[in-house]
Structure 1
């Protein structure tokens, strides 16, 4: 849902909500509504409802519902139910009393619990409206994202079919080369086997949304090995990954973009300042970092199409539950990605 459309819906809602409420008051309340106290009380009450509605809609719901923190959501709702009468009491019984000299309640025997109970109808009502509004927005955005992902997947599949050379032919050919060279040139045979594994991984595993972390680590390791082979081993790189990755899963082909960028733009032959690639798992989360020295004349692709695609993918998969920090200093380029493990 676009921001303009969302704002329009909110304007229509508040126009109808406030309009109907004022109409109901004019019919049922048998006292003047044009006195100073009534005007200020009515205005303050509307603003209080706006405050509670948008505190829930803009702050609490996004921080709890998106991350499925249901207990915190329930606690926050009770907090707002108490906050509503607290603010109303201060405004009506203290501020307005000093201005107009009138109270809304009989202060001689006013009980705090009764005051909260008496205001619960208004507080719960406005909270329900905000929850329904947020869930409608959430479902709208989710359906839009799913539709967009399905469309993009179909387009990618169509493009792959147009450009595809039979993977089975390539695998069989590479395996044949591997068999022929295994005895005479085992080093080249090993490289061919790694290339075959990478091709198989890209062709088949990329069709899955999630892959085993150990398979993604192996893919990166094979990529690094072939990169070193291309430059006769004269590559300064440190690659660190967890020894035991268990059955953790991450999105397929998520990390290769940052590795490619480090090799493409970074200085890879400076052994005093090697390219550093680290993968760390802790408390059910993955932290992936790359650090590399770069030439100041180089221009990074981190703000190009590749970076935008990665950011969009992360926002869809982990809304408000991930971090991607890109820091470009005068000599070094650092990327830190943190996502939950599945």
Structure 2
């Protein structure tokens, strides 16, 4: 849902909600009430409804519903149930009383329990409206994102079919080259085997949304080895990763984008400042970092298509539960990715 459309829906809702509420007040309100007090009380009450609605809609719901933190959501609703009458009491019975000299409730017999109970209708009502509004927005956006991903996947599959050369032919050919060179030129044979493994991984594993972290690590290592081979070992790069990654899974072909960028834009022949790639697993999360020195004349495009696609993919898969930080100073470019492990 676009921001303009969302704002329009909110304006329509509040015009109808406040309009009907004011119509009801005009029918039921005591005509003998002080007019100034009535106007100020009404303005404060509507402002309080707006405040509670958007605290729930803009802060509580986005932090709890996408991450399925239902206990925290329930606790927060009870908090709003107390906050509503607390603010109303402070405004009407303290501030307005000092200004107008008029109480809304009989203060002699008023208790906090009764005041909260008497206001529960208004507080629960506005909380429910905000919850329903957020759920509608969340379902709308989720449906749109799923449809967009489905469309992009179908387009990618169609493009792959148009450009497809039988993978079995490629793998069999590479395996044949490997066998021919195994005895005479083992280094080249080893490179051919790595290339075959990479092609197999890209061809088959990319069809899956999630892959084993250990397979992704092997894929990155093979990529680095072939890149070094291409430049006769004159590549300054360090790659650290845990030796035991268990059965953790991550989105397929997620990390290669950042590795390619580091090699493409970074200075790869400076052994005093090598390209650094690091993978860590901590508390059920993946922390992936790349650091590379770059030439002053070469600047990264942080808003390029690749980064946008990665950010969109992460937002869909891990809403409110990931971080992707891209930092650039005068000499170095740093990427830090933090996502939950499956």
TM-score, normalisation: structure 1: 0.97
Q: Distance in 1 between matches of 2:121 and 2:337?
A: 45
8 Å CA contact 1:261–1:301 kept in 2: the answer is: no
- DSSP-derived class of the 1:253 partner: coil
Partner of 1:249: 249
- DSSP-derived class of the 2:139 partner: helix
Q: How does 1:1-80 map to 2 (within 5 A)?
A: 1-32=1-32, 35-80=35-80
- DSSP-derived class of the 2:300 partner: coil
Farther off after superposition, 255-264 or 302-311: 302-311
The answer to whether residue 220 in structure 2 is matched with residue 215 in structure 1 is no
Q: Distance in 2 between matches of 1:340 and 1:179?
A: 41
Q: Give the drift of 1:123.
A: 0.4
8 Å CA contact 1:26–1:33 kept in 2: the answer is: no
Partner of 1:97: 97
Q: Give the drift of 1:4.
A: 0.8
Q: Distance in 2 between matches of 1:158 and 1:207?
A: 13
Farther off after superposition, 279-288 or 63-72: 63-72
Q: How many residues align?
A: 342
Partner of 1:152: 152
- DSSP-derived class of the 2:6 partner: helix
TM-score, normalisation: structure 2: 0.97
Q: How does 1:1-342 map to 2 (within 5 A)?
A: 1-32=1-32, 35-342=35-342
Q: Distance in 1 between matches of 2:156 and 2:228?
A: 31
Q: Give the drift of 1:173.
A: 0.7
Unpaired segments of 5 or more residues in structure 2?
A: none
8 Å CA contact 1:97–1:103 kept in 2: the answer is: yes
Structure 1 consecutive aligned stretches of length 4 or more whose deviation exceeds 4 Å:
none
Unpaired segments of 5 or more residues in structure 1?
A: none
Deviations, residues 162-186 of structure 1 (Å, cap 9, x unaligned): 1111111111111111111112222
Task: Quickly say closer, same or farther: Cα 1:107–1:33, change in 2 above 3 A.
Answer: closer
Q: Give the drift of 1:34.
A: 7.3
Deviations, residues 28-75 of structure 1 (Å, cap 9, x unaligned): 334347711111111111110000000000011001112221111111
Q: Distance in 2 between matches of 1:122 and 1:267?
A: 63
- DSSP-derived class of the 2:110 partner: coil
> What is the root-mean-square deviation of aligned Cα atoms in Å?
1.2
Deviations, residues 279-314 of structure 1 (Å, cap 9, x unaligned): 000001111111111111223243311111111111
- DSSP-derived class of the 1:324 partner: strand
Q: Distance in 2 between matches of 1:32 and 1:106?
A: 17
Q: Distance in 1 between matches of 2:289 and 2:194?
A: 24
